[in-house]
Amino acid sequence: MKISNASKEAIVPLIIGDNNELWTARSSKNLVSLFQTYGFRDDVYNGALPKLNNSNLNTSKTNYTKDRLYKISDIVLKQLIEQLISESTDAHNAISQLNNILAHDNIKLSFNDGSIVWEGIKIDPKIENEAIFKNNEKNVIDNINNAKVSILVAMAWFTNEKIKEALVRKRQEGLRIELVIYKDGINAAHGVDLTDFDYKEIRGTRGGFMHNKFCVIDNQKVLTGSYNWTTNAEARNDENVLVTADNTTATNYSVEFRRLKPLI
């Protein structure tokens, strides 16, 4: 059983204790103490969380917890999750909430004689693909609206305000949204305002364009194809979008996104 990065990110608020009646909020100092217990012995709290990846920027609780979860093994993470359950005010509700997250990884938790049991869920591994040639804007927005955890976007040109507003709504719901766009005159003059998002403008890594057009949703689904998120692509051009629901493919695109935009 492997716990995906998408699931780890969804567990972060439970560890921090943000806005959740099942868990007490942890201070930054308590977060460091927690992860010291799970192998990060060199982490020290000196009035602030440890810096990440040699950055001089202050570290948020979310980014610190996320970084540490990415780095621990699944065996250690299982121990941490069991601690979360034991610390909760209602173990059965805690397990239910965790199962909602871990179901995406085909994992289920249950109680048996007071012990926590980890089970793999057997599912149909069928890959689902859908090729779209009309109403691309609507289909992109529908898929964004169905996102539960995270949205990663690498888009050469992004001028479509309706798609941007769909991302705004999901950001307001608390989803992690990151974007990479091509650094050029079109986006500078006509691109949507991404000021409130975690985004980066980049050139092509090999001297040409950053010509990608893909979106990874919940590390479960990928939207890709010829369709840029622009008004011209929607109103004037012949375009296509391929939607594929396949964990392996989604992970490959997530890895490529992280290559384009490293996590700070």
Map out the domains of the chain as residue ranges: 5-120, 128-260
Q: Which of 236, 225, 213, 241 is nearest to 156 (CA)?
A: 213
The stretches of 4-135 forming alpha helices (DSSP H) are 5-16, 28-37, 61-71, 74-87, 91-102
Which residues, in sequence order, are CB contacts of 123 under 8 Å at separation 6+? 106
Contacts of 131 (CB under 8 A, 6+ apart): 240, 241, 242
- How many CB atoms lie under 10 A from the CB of residue 48? 12
Q: What is the pLDDT of residues 143-185, one digit of tens each?
A: 999 998 899 999 999 999 999 999 999 999 888 899 999 999 9
The predicted structure's pLDDT at residue 35: 93
pLDDT (mean) for 210-237: 95
User: pLDDT band at 196, cuts 50/70/90?
Assistant: very high
pLDDT digits (tens, 9 = 90+) for 30-42: 999 999 989 898 8
DSSP helix, strand, coil percent of the chain (3-state; round to 5): 40, 20, 40
Q: In the CATH scheme, what is the code of domain 128-260?
A: 3.30.870.10
pTM of the full predicted structure? Answer: 0.57
51-107 residue pLDDT tens: 887 777 888 999 999 999 999 888 889 999 999 999 999 999 999 999 999 998 889
- When computed from its CA atoms, the radius of gyration of the chain, rounded to whole angstroms, is 20
pLDDT at 124: 53
With H, G, I as helix, E, B as strand and everything else as coil, classify residue 20.
Answer: coil
Residue 1 confidence class, pLDDT cut points 50, 70, 90: low
**pLDDT level of residue 19 (50, 70, 90 thresholds):** low
**Residues β-bridged to residue 229:** 158
| List of residues 6+ apart from 52 with CB closer than 8 A | 59, 63, 64, 67, 264
* Distance (Å) of CA 205 to CA 64, 157, 212: 28, 16, 11
Per the prediction, the chain carries an average pLDDT of 90
H or E segment and range at residue 128: strand 128-132
